[in-house]
Amino acid sequence: MVVTLEDDQLALDVDPSVTITVSERRDGDERTLRIGPLAEPDARALAAFLLNRRDVPASANGPWRLAVAGGVRTVLLER
């Protein structure tokens, strides 16, 4: 976040925000959770954590999939 004062006007630059949608299917049941809005760097870090990865591609928004016991987890970033 950057705050500047220009021509007696206050300007606030904020990181782009995104929402994370996590869906998990196990044994025929599906659960979906929406998280956010979050700053994009925080959302990408959380997505990587949920996918058991070091990071996710900076230019992609998913969906990414991860096999979990008895099913699959899907993570999607939405602007």
Q: Give pLDDT tens digits for 24-40.
A: 999 989 999 999 999 99
* SS3 state at 9: strand
Q: In the chain, which stretches have pLDDT less than 70?
A: 1-8, 11-13
Q: What is the pLDDT of residue 52?
A: 94
For residue 25, the 8-state DSSP code is: E
Q: What is the pLDDT of residue 9?
A: 72
Q: What is the pLDDT of residue 48?
A: 95
- Cis ω before 16 (30° cut-off from 0): no
In the chain, domain spans:
17-78
CA 57/CA 69 separation, integer angstroms = 25
Q: What is the pLDDT of residue 72?
A: 97
Which pTM does this prediction carry? 0.78
